[in-house]
Amino acid sequence: MSEFSDALKIVTKHISDDPELYEGYQANIAMAFYDEYRFSPVMYKNRTEMHRIANEAAKKFLNMWIK
């Protein structure tokens, strides 16, 4: 296994086994989406806009995680 695969298995196991850690990840992902949706200048969101917002939220979450 690669170093990344090993690390990912460890992180996944800990998120699965630790309810508080799971809740923390859930909250961070949810808030990234919520903030991006709330502060979007588009008032009425269609599927295309929701897709854009979800991708921006995902980027924000990943950037918080890796920085």
Q: Write the pLDDT tens digit of every residue in 5-41.
A: 999 899 989 988 999 998 998 898 989 888 888 888 8
- At residue 1, does pLDDT exceed 80? no
Stretch (H or E) spanning 65? helix 47-66
Q: What is the distance between the alpha carbons of residues 5 and 38, in angstroms, rounded to a whole number?
A: 35
**What's the pLDDT score for residue 34?**
87
The whole-number pLDDT of residue 10 equals: 93
Q: Which domain holds residue 14?
A: 3-66
Count of the separate structural domains present in the chain: 1
Mean per-residue pLDDT, 34-53: 86
